[in-house]
Chains A and B, each alone.
Chain A
Amino acid sequence: MATTVSPRAKQYTDELDRLWTERPGVLGWLTTTDHKRIGIMYFFTTLAFFGAGGVEALLIRSQLIGPNGHVLSPQAYDEVFTMHGITMIFLFVIPMTTGAFGNYLIPLMIGARDMAFPRLNALSFWIFLGSGLFMYAALLQGHAPNAGWFDYVPLASKQFDPGNNIDYYGYGLIFNGISSTIASINFIVTIFKLRAPGMSLNRMPLFCFAFLAVAFALLFALPSLSVAALFLELDRQLGFHFYDAAFGGAPLLWQNLFWIFGHPEVYIIILPAFGIATSIIPAFVHRRMVFFPLVALAEILVAFLGFGVWVHHMFTVGFSTLTTVYFAAASLIIVIPSAIQLFAWIATIVTGTPDFQTPLLFIIGFIVYFIIGGLSGITVAAIPFDQQVHDSYYIIAHFHFVIFGAAVFPILGGMYFWFPKVTGRVYHELTGKVSFWLTFAGTFITFFPMHIVGILGMPRRNYTYPPDMGWTLLNFIESIGSYLLAAGLILIVANLAISYFRGPRTDPPFEGDTLEWATSSPPPPYNFAVIPTVRSPYPMWDKEDRERDNQRLERGEGLLNLEHATPATTVQDAQLDEILSMPSHSPWPPLTALALTGVFAMLVMQHYWIAFGFLVVGGLTLLGWHQNEEQA
């Protein structure tokens, strides 16, 4: 959206450039606190983990392409399916949505110049990277976690899993949880305090509502996982008996703690996808979201109700009927806010004038697969039916339609949608459409037959199956589908990679409604020359406001060009509150993360004194952190 710039305006933006531009080169990336650069680092890191998790998925499907397969040994199969789950959930979907999309977009969408705590933001990235490499180090050493991502005890206890496979899991998740906790706090404060003047809560983009709900859900859900993992390591390393029935512990304690985290987690995965969908739809159907307030409420309700349904993962453990019925009812209630959003999207698309470009196609795919996954989800809230198909391939089909179909499709659509924003170039539309259909078909062919295989009684997590069960043909179809799906995903990455170098430098062929489109593409380090003002949830469609921003730049108003600063506003009404002086680049976050990586690496090797040494080093880095360094 670069318009011709007057010399006067140029002078102001030069001043901002000088204030905000970070060091060049690798050192600049290592010490960056710019939310956009951190977002980009998150993006490439999570994309790499997505590739690893995808290779693991292909290994699983290749093993199961026919009965009695010999691609993987039973030991390798257990490690691969465990790492597939851990990778996709902890190292791909969550960090991709919150870390990459959230980090890059939320400050831009709310008209801020950075996240509220830029150095904490860098720390959460480096810890995430450290925890991911930590868990993959186990795989490279040949003893990756092997008790499933759900890691049920006593199978995961020292008695039945004596190696340190599980310790990589336990410590890795505690480590990873630090990153997510830090990021959540940062998102909450950013969304509450750094919104542009005038962007009261009721004018905040639905994308931000979704991420706010996710941040709160993460903050309340993660402690349960961390405690569960801590108990696990106390049991394994120091001989405690939290989960040991023989000593008065309870294996179900693990399951309860895990799913108290694990179910909100599902909504933590899916809500950002909802947010992305509500960003993409208005831009392509040329109208506002139908029933905006109800959709915002539904997003928050989903996150809230998600805390009350965890026992539906445990309908077969032998709880009383009353207990299971309560959680079945809660699980059914959550259908309502989901259905509200679903039909709000459909109503918006039907009543608008949709232009079916690639990003919207991915959202259509998302809607279709969310309906399938949602409907199969309702069927497993029927307790007796769940007690039949629980831990069968029916469940795999259900949650892959939800997590892959409904959560990843918007991520893929979002990659196309914001590609012009991040790179300043436009992707190849026809290739985009082909990549959509390939991915869409691949997903269906891979996951739909799993419903039937599950109905035919095939349990999950089996490294092999006999030939005479009626499962052979369907498994073959699924595996072929997975290769098709992989081809589709590779085509998406190839399209974006080639467009990054060769794509035309034009404005994107659609009109986004939120503030990230108010600045140039790619955005300057300071995001906005003039802090924008807002008076509706669709600030880009309020043309006169954006015109006035340009006039203010000419007059030098609202620039904050004297220091490295961003305005803070009141939580509800977003009235200007104060000017926050923001920290600039810093070497301390990666150093703190490095020290923490040392702590966890030594813990898993049981060198407790060296671990303590690294903890002291980590403390020293925090001292360095708290020194007020000079501003750039």
Chain B
Amino acid sequence: MALGLGGCGKQSILSTRSKPAHDIALLWWWMLAAATVVFLGAVAMLAVAWFRRERPGLPFVGEREDLAQGMVLVFGIVVPLVALIGLFGVSDVYLVGQTAPPNPRTTRMTIDVIGHQWWWEVRYDGGRAITANEIHIPANTRVNVVATSADVIHSFWVPALNRKIDMVPGMRNRVLLYASTPGVYRGQCSQFCGLQHANMSLKVFAQRPDRFRAWLAGQERPGATPQGAQAAAGQRLFMNAQCASCHTIAGTPARGTVGPNLTHVASRTSLASDEIPNTPKWLAAWIRNPQKIKPGDRMPDLGLSEPQIAQLVAYLEQLR
């Protein structure tokens, strides 16, 4: 069953796209094989006990206490010692180096990922571009991720690309992010962080370097000026209603930092840390009643009218 399921799954640790994740998966298969042998061996001994339940002593040799004790010494000390030294050498001496924080000289770029209840802030080049919940990286490039937290402990985990790393207040942890092929890789917060821990996901978009550069250039621009009366009304509403107190849109007075930066929100594929798709309909549903989609989320039910929601959606949809 494990074999059949191993390859599938959007977040499996076995469908890997980087050397560290690949080596960990390989380690897992070897450990699984060894563990299966040990397990079957021990169960076989219990089976022997069942078949010889009327006869004392060991098969072939009969009742010899020294041999029974020898069995304990061999299987209880010698065999595990050899196996464990081997495992320790492979995993905790050799492989552990690969999951250690990357040497800064070997990485081409640094991204800050900051955990919030319950979304991910992503900052490029010290804040020249800021986005949320969707991390774009160039494929085949070693990226240094600095993982920190704005509130409680979170854990940054994209299984296809590497191990997880906790985001602990007061600490600057680092982890390598590397994708060998372009693609979209799902990740999820893996340290319990409160009510919406279950709905704190993210996506990593590994892109061809030229596309990545184009994307980044787009993200560095300020927010688009609204086109049309509906969107302009939406912008005014955004600045005057509560929205601006929590969200930032570069180039506007909106400077809030509680919620995600929305400067280019329309360029993202999902909303609410990957819980709903980023379509006008879902965006309206989210503004209308965020507490229904993510109960307990920091985004409150704002009590806006339907026309107001339509105006906001029209504005936000233009923030590409």
Report the nearest A residue to B64, measured CB to CB: A351
Q: Which of B9, B10, B155 has the most CB of A within 10 A?
A: B9
Complex CA gap A368/B119 in Å reads 42
Q: Does B214 count as interface, using CB distance less than 8 angstroms? A: no
Whether a CB of chain B sits under 8 angstroms from the CB of A154 is yes
CB distance from A218 to the nearest CB of B (A): 26
Residues of A within 8 A of B20 (CB): 384
| Candidate in A78, A351, A451 with the most chain B CB atoms within 10 angstroms | A351
Binding stretch for chain B, among A8-16, A37-45, A334-342, A564-572:
A334-342
| A251 touching B190, Cβ below 8 Å | no
Do A325 and B24 have beta carbons less than 8 Å apart? no
Nearest chain B residue, comparing its CB with the CB of A247: B170
Look across to chain A and name the residue whose beta carbon is closest to the beta carbon of B101: A318
Q: Does B287 contact A (CB under 8 A)?
A: no
Asked if B5 and A456 make an inter-chain contact with CB atoms under 8 angstroms apart, the answer reads yes
B65 touches A290 (CB 8 A): yes
In the complex, are the beta carbons of A470 and B45 less than 8 A apart? no
How far in angstroms is the closest Cβ of chain B from A228? Answer: 16
Assess whether A434 is interfacial by the CB under 8 Å rule: no
Q: Given A252-B168, A321-B97, A387-B99 in contact, is the A452-B2 Cβ separation under 8 Å?
A: yes
Q: How far is the CA of A116 from the CA of B297 in the complex (A)?
A: 55
The stretch from A201-209, A375-383, A484-492, A532-540 touching chain B is: A375-383
- Chain B interface residue count, Cβ-Cβ cutoff 8 angstroms: 92
Query: Does A343 sit at the interface, judged by CB under 8 A?
Result: yes
Q: How far is the CA of A456 from the CA of B12 in the complex (A)?
A: 4
Q: Given A155-B194, A251-B169, do A343 and B72 touch, yes or no (CB 8 Å)?
A: yes
Which chain B residues (62-107) contact chain A, with CB distance < 8 Å? 63, 65, 68-69, 71-72, 75-77, 79-81, 84, 87-88, 90-93, 95-100
User: What's the Cα separation between A520 and B157 when bound, in Å?
Assistant: 60
> How long is the Cα–Cα vector from A613 to B74 in the complex, in angstroms?
62
Kindly count the residue-residue contacts between A and B in the assembled complex, taking CB atoms under 8 Å apart: 277
A388→B96 contact, CB < 8 A: no
CB neighbors of A among B153-184 (8 A): 153, 155, 157, 159, 163-166, 168-171, 173
- Give the residue of A73, A353, A371, A462 whose beta carbon is less than 8 angstroms from that of B55: A353
Q: Given A355-B53, A384-B99, A372 and B39 touching (CB < 8 A)?
A: yes
Chain A residues, CB < 8 A from B241:
none
The answer to whether A469 touches B10, judged by C-beta atoms less than 8 angstroms apart, is yes
Which of B35, B80, B84, B163 makes the CB contact (< 8 A) with A384? B163
- Chain B residues with CB below 8 A from A152, complex form: 152-153, 191-192
Tell me the chain A residues, 335-361 only, with Cβ under 8 Å from chain B: 335-336, 339-344, 346-356
With A147-B192, A460-B192, A470-B9 in contact, do A316 and B164 touch (Cβ < 8 Å)? yes
Question: Which residues on the B side are within 8 Å of A471 (C-beta)?
Answer: 9
Chain B residues near A383 (CB, 8 Å)?
91-92, 95-96, 99
- Partner of A332 from the list B9, B87, B117, B173 (CB cut-off 8 Å) is B87
Instruction: Check A316 against B163 for contact (C-beta < 8 Å).
Output: yes
Q: Complex: how many Å from CA A526 to CA B121?
A: 69
Chain B residues, CB < 8 A from A328:
88, 91-92
Question: From B10, which residue of chain A is reached at the shortest CB distance?
Answer: A469
A459 and B190 within 8 A (CB): yes
Q: Known contacts A74-B196, A353-B54, A455-B2; is A290 also within 8 Å of B68 by CB?
A: yes
B46 A316 Cβ-Cβ under 8 A: no
Kindly state the separation between the CA atoms of A468 and B9 in the bound complex, as whole angstroms. Answer: 8
Contact A245 B43 (CB under 8 A): no
Task: Determine whether B296 belongs to the interface, using a CB cutoff of 8 Å to chain A.
Answer: yes
Whose C-beta in chain A lies nearest to the C-beta of B172? A318
Most chain A CB atoms below 10 A, which of B43, B100, B165, B194:
B194
Question: How many angstroms between the C-alpha atoms of A430 and B88 in the bound complex?
Answer: 46
Task: Tell me whether A375 and B46 are in contact in the complex, defined as CB-CB below 8 angstroms, given that A251-B168, A339-B76 are known contacts.
Answer: no
Which one of B11, B75, B95, B193 lies within 8 Å of A469 (CB-CB)? B11
CB-CB nearest in chain B for A351: B68
Number of interface residues of A (CB under 8 A): 87
Docked CA distance A73–B55 (Å)? 57
Set of chain B residues within 8 Å of A78, measured between Cβ atoms: 194-195
Chain B proximity of A252: nearest CB distance (Å): 6
In the complex, whether A463 has a CB less than 8 A from a CB of chain B is yes
Asked whether, in the complex, the Cβ of A155 is within 8 Å of the Cβ of B192, the reply is yes
A82 shortest CB reach to chain B, Å: 9
In the complex, what's the smallest C-beta–C-beta distance from A153 to chain B, in angstroms? 8
A351 touches B53 (CB 8 A): no
A291 on the B face (CB < 8 A): yes
A558–B292 alpha-carbon span in the complex (Å): 75
A246→B153 CA distance, assembly (Å) = 14
How many angstroms between the C-alpha atoms of A468 and B10 in the bound complex? 8
Q: Is the beta-carbon distance between A350 and B80 smaller than 8 angstroms?
A: no
> Which residues 191-222 in B have Cβ within 8 Å of A in the complex?
191-199
A351 to B77 alpha-carbon distance, docked (Å): 19
Q: How far is the CA of A325 from the CA of B190 in the complex (A)?
A: 22
Given A350-B49, A455-B12, the answer on whether A290 and B72 have CB atoms closer than 8 Å is yes
Of the stretches A267-275, A389-397, A576-584, the one at the interface is: A389-397
**With contacts A353-B54, A356-B53 known, is A388 near B13, CB below 8 A?**
yes
B77 touches A336 (CB 8 A): yes
Say whether B11 contacts A339, CB under 8 Å: no
CA distance in complex: A469, B98 (Å): 27
Q: Point out the residue from B27, B63, B93, B189 that lies within 8 Å of A459, measured CB to CB.
A: B189
A73 touches B295 (CB 8 A): yes
A160 to B153, alpha carbons, bound, how many Å? 11
A363 to chain B, nearest CB (A): 11
Bound state CA distance, A352 and B45, in angstroms?
13
A429 CB to closest chain B CB (Å) equals 16
Which residues from A are CB-within-8-Å of B171? 245, 252, 317-318
Which residues of chain B are within 8 angstroms of A461 by Cβ–Cβ distance?
192, 197-198
In the complex, per-residue mask of B262-298: 1 if CB is within 8 Å of any chain A CB, else 0: 0000000000000000000000000000000001100
Contact indicator B151/A343 (Cβ below 8 Å): no
Contacts of B117 in A (CB 8 A): 160
Flag if A379 contacts B31 (CB, 8 Å).
Answer: yes
A391–B8 touching, CB < 8 Å: no
| Cβ-based interface call for B56 (8 A) | yes
Q: Is the CB of A336 within 8 A of B96?
A: no
Chain B residues 11-42 with CB under 8 Å of chain A are 11-14, 20-21, 23-24, 27-28, 31-32, 35, 38-39, 42
Distance to closest chain A CB from B312 (angstroms): 26
CA distance A343 to B74 in the complex (A): 9
Separation of A463 and B200 alpha carbons in the complex (Å): 12
Q: Which of B209-252 contact A (CB under 8 A)?
A: none
Can you list 20 A-B pairs, Cβ within 8 angstroms, ordered by A? Answer: A152-B152, A160-B194, A251-B168, A251-B170, A318-B166, A321-B100, A347-B72, A351-B58, A354-B50, A355-B53, A371-B42, A381-B92, A383-B92, A383-B96, A387-B24, A452-B5, A456-B8, A457-B12, A459-B157, A471-B9
Name 15 extra pairs, CB < 8 A, besides A75-B295, A356-B50.
A154-B169, A328-B88, A336-B80, A339-B76, A350-B48, A371-B43, A372-B39, A375-B39, A378-B84, A383-B99, A388-B159, A456-B11, A457-B188, A468-B10, A470-B10
A-B pairs with the 3 shortest C-beta distances? A245-B170, A457-B11, A387-B163
